[in-house]
């Protein structure tokens, strides 16, 4: 079983990004007991399953590094105590501004993978990713990326497509390629700070699809300027192999994903933290297997199929898209993703590109070597 737990040590953040998705205004840092209990229960739950077992701990926020180095050192100690017979990995999603030599040394020793948020060169990044005094964070972020690269740590960057960079996505790809930054690309959620001014920062489904396709074509046609992009990889592999390759495309993503917030509340997804009607319960009060069989959890673990999805040619790789986005935009996780039209257009385009290259969807070696290369980044 591959199980993902997105742990949020805190919702606090030192930046004030204009499109921040965080809806939870509570500000504690997770206590040691809650951290211990979260890690113990995660391993106990996965241990119940036969066969290969892997836990992916994704440390998220807020800005998770606000919790401090000692917090993460304790987390590693608890993982060693409770996870001795289960494979696991640690990934941290950070804005990068706290990274220094002490953190670098810790990440090396603890075998962390690092994901740093950056939205392109300074003029794009600093449009929305600012501190509480309105100052851009680009220079600090690039300094952190250099430290991570120099240390040889496994890393990538997370890029949000928004009004700040939608008209310059080909330039954005060139920047990522020139800086050798493996990346993932995501759209804005209608959530947190972005909710109140989504028209000023967010994209409609058509805009996002068009921007994504421009970047995808740059990537697909690349040679020396090739740079790894997980979303492009996953969607191409999904069509080639006939099954979803990312959580957005899974029929029932909540069956293998949870998120735990600073006070121990469990949710189906990190994006849904703070919404009382999506909460399974609290880990300090109940075991995880009990929470995952609660009525709310079973509702999210058994998402209903939309009628339009049932007849869609890409249903087998998409399954209605992200249910957290469906909830954020429409208040109902059983609805189709707000970006459903984007996803359809993306899959159509990827399929056409593969066909235009005269590549058999399941056989050609050259495209498979491209699609399966660097998958650990």
Dist. CA 267–CA 190, nearest whole Å: 18
For the domain spanning 2-292, the CATH number is 3.20.20.70
Higher pLDDT, 358 or 123: 123
**DSSP assignment letter at 249:** G
What are the beta bridge partners of residue 7? 59, 260
pLDDT at 27 over 80: no
Confidence label for 46 from pLDDT (cuts 50, 70 and 90)? very high
What's the confidence (pLDDT) of residue 43?
Answer: 98
Q: What's the pTM?
A: 0.93
Burial state string for 270-294 with b = 16 or more CB within 10 A and e = fewer than 16:
bbbbbbeebbbbbbeebebeebbeb
Query: Cβ distance 53 to 86 under 8 Å?
Result: yes
pLDDT at 306 over 90: no
Percent of the chain residues topping a pLDDT of 90: 89
Average pLDDT over residues 204-213: 98
Per DSSP bridges, beta strands 281-282 and 265-267 are antiparallel
Higher pLDDT, 9 or 357: 9
What's the confidence (pLDDT) of residue 365?
Answer: 44
Dist. CA 285–CA 265, nearest whole Å: 10
What's the confidence (pLDDT) of residue 282?
Answer: 98
Confidence label for 363 from pLDDT (cuts 50, 70 and 90)? very low
What does the mean pLDDT of the chain come to?
A: 93
Q: Where exactly are the structural domains of the chain?
A: 2-292, 304-374
What's the confidence (pLDDT) of residue 196?
Answer: 85
Which tens digit of pLDDT belongs to each residue from 53-103?
999 999 999 999 999 999 999 999 999 999 999 999 999 999 999 999 999
Dist. CA 269–CA 368, nearest whole Å: 31
What's the confidence (pLDDT) of residue 357?
Answer: 83
Residue 311, exposed/middle/buried by CB under 10 A (0-12, 13-18, 19+)? exposed
Q: In what order do the strands lie in the sheet with 155-161?
A: 183-187, 155-161, 112-117, 87-94, 54-59, 2-7, 257-260, 265-267, 281-282
Average pLDDT over residues 166-194: 96
Confidence label for 358 from pLDDT (cuts 50, 70 and 90)? low
What's the confidence (pLDDT) of residue 368?
Answer: 38
Average pLDDT over residues 116-127: 98
What's the confidence (pLDDT) of residue 371?
Answer: 43
């Amino acid at each position: 079983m591959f199980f993902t737990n997105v742990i949020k040590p805190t919702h606090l953040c030192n930046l004030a990004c204009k499109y921040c998705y965080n809806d939870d205004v509570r500000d504690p840092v997770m206590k040691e007991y809650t951290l211990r209990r979260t890690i113990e229960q995660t391993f106990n739950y996965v241990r119940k399953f036969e066969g290969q077992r892997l836990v992916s701990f994704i440390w998220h926020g807020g800005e998770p590094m606000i919790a401090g180095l000692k917090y993460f050192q304790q987390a590693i100690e608890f993982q060693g105590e409770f996870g001795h017979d289960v494979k696991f990995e640690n990934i941290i999603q950070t804005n990068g501004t706290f990274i220094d030599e002490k953190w670098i040394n810790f990440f090396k020793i603890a075998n962390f993978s690092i994901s740093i948020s950056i939205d392109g060169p300074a003029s794009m990044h600093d449009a929305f990713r600012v501190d509480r005094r309105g100052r851009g964070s680009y220079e600090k972020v690039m300094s952190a990326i250099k430290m991570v690269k120099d240390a040889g740590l496994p890393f990538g960057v997370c890029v949000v497509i928004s009004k700040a960079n939608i008209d310059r996505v080909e330039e954005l790809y060139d920047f990522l390629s020139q800086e050798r930054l493996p990346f993932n690309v995501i759209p804005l959620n209608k959530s947190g700070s972005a909710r109140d001014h989504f028209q000023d920062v967010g994209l409609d489904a058509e805009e996002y699809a068009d921007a994504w396709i421009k970047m995808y074509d740059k990537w697909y046609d690349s040679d020396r300027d090739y740079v790894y992009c997980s979303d492009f990889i996953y969607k191409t592999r999904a069509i080639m192999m006939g099954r979803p390759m990312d959580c957005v495309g899974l029929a029932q993503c909540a069956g293998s994903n949870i998120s735990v917030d600073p006070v121990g509340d469990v949710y189906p997804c990190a994006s849904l933290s703070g919404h009382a009607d999506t909460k399974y319960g609290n880990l300090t009060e109940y075991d995880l297997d009990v929470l995952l069989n609660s009525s709310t959890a079973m509702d999210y673990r058994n998402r209903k199929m939309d009628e339009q999805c049932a007849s869609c040619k890409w249903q087998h790789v998409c399954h209605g898209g992200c249910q957290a986005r469906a909830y954020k935009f429409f208040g109902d996780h059983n609805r189709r993703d707000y970006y459903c039209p984007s996803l359809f257009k993306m899959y159509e385009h990827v399929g056409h590109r593969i066909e235009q290259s005269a590549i058999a969807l399941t056989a050609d070696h050259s495209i498979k070597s491209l699609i399966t290369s660097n998958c650990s980044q």
